[in-house]
Structure 1
Amino acid sequence: MVSLIGTSALGSESFTPPGPGDFNLPPIGPDRTFEFLGQTMYLGVTKPMIQVVLAGVIVFAFFYYASRKRAMVPGRLQFVGEEAYGFVRNSMGRDILGSHDFQRFVPYLVTVFFFILVNNLFATIPFIQFPTMSRSGMVYGLALLSWVIYNGVGIQKHGFMGYIKHQSLPSGVGGPILLLIVPLEFMSNILVRPVTLALRLFANMFAGHLLLILFALGGEYLVAEMAIQYAPVGILAWVLFIAIAFLEILIQFLQAYVFVLLNAMYISGALADEH
């Protein structure tokens, strides 16, 4: 009964919902493809690759021109640059890492924050409208870099075995419970952190953009392809699309903030004298 009603309401047309395939963009230029694990893969330069380079150029150009003509009384661009730099320096550098260690990590934290933020904001910029970090390979590259840095500084301070002990053996814990605690701490602090760090950013960007596509295309389908009585529902879908788009801007900022905040916390934990 339900299927018959649904069929009569939809008519002969069918709506193809968006899915992961919408994020697998073809290369710009010659179309060279191959099959891998049942998925069509592309060879060549793709839109996300160009966006990564463009984001790097934007971040570099902004801070270069903001700091090129430094003055005691800053101009507008210098003021914005100083405020942006100070936001990361103070809230995610000094407050997390402490006044003794934070300064040498500030360039890395500032660069990663604004690089991720620009790539996230690409999802809402007209004619681009694709979040670079919705491609897992981009995010895992950043997570791997973070993993190398915080483990590297920890090994540099404590030595290799000392660092492994530092990350795997909580202070004040002893006895047979260590047989359970040590493997869990090792997996959590050494192995799992980059995976969860990457998944958090990737999943939010992927899900948010997928939701926007669904409301945009779904609204268009209801207005253009369905009977007239479905038009108000399609218009409502477009209104929700606009509301979610504004919410996504906030999420794009928060995800860049959380990624860098966790980086600072991991570095702080690696440098700490006690676990």
Structure 2
Amino acid sequence: MNPRLSLNQATVRRADLATALAVTQKAGIASIGLWREPVADVGLAAAAALLADSGLRFSSLCRGGFFTMSDPDARRAAMDDNRRAIEETAALAAAGAPGSAAVLVLVPGGLPAGDRDLPGARARVADAVGELAADAVAAGVTLAIEPMHPIYAADRGVISTLGQALDIAEQHDDVGVVLDTFHVWWDPQLAEQIARAGRTGRIAGYQVNDWITPLPPDTLLARGMMGDGHIDLRAVTALVEQAGYRGDVEVEIFNQEIWDADPGEVAHRVAAAFGAHVGL
């Protein structure tokens, strides 16, 4: 079992927090990435206690972000929610096993309803990250911007390339990026931008999965198990390793068939596919 493998909770979405922790342990996986909704279901204090009892490392919390709105009241509410997410990340990282990472993944958000001003939405992402950076530093948390595949630019992520994410992150001392193979594998500048991220110490997380075809009607659910699609995972992983990243590597899969399967079986499949296809 690779000691750097982490199971992102989204991969076993139907499992509650206690079950996700248990199946991760049983599969011999040493680390887990959590999502805010299952944490909220039990409460932050109880979630931290469950994580501490599990003995697992904590690799990240998903998600902050979604702060592209232009309405002042909506934007203020989003920023307040992101500050709560920073606090949650710090508490969970403190509860995790040694080597846990206080990383909050930021999904930028899409265009507000009726808004076609893509440059304006991207500028608001940069402004929001700048506004939150001091709060994150004070809490000991790294904000990690996740560039998203362009198919999600309208509804989920107006930051589409690693280069765009780095342009924002590099304006601040302690802001990084998350590399998700599903989102970045297509980028013709990927090697150059991963090297850039490594030179400036900006790689805060690395997530693996695969790009499957045909795409399902809901493209949110288009991620496959490693080895089932088109991504040269070994090549991308080599670039990330060459850039100096040595943290946990999360498997994050949004796929209805995988979600419908038994969470314990999925965890074991993740471990096997990771060993066979990721290249670590």
Same fold, TM-score > 0.5, yes or no:
no
Higher helix share: 1
TM-score, with length taken from structure 2:
0.22
TM-score where L is the length of structure 1: 0.22
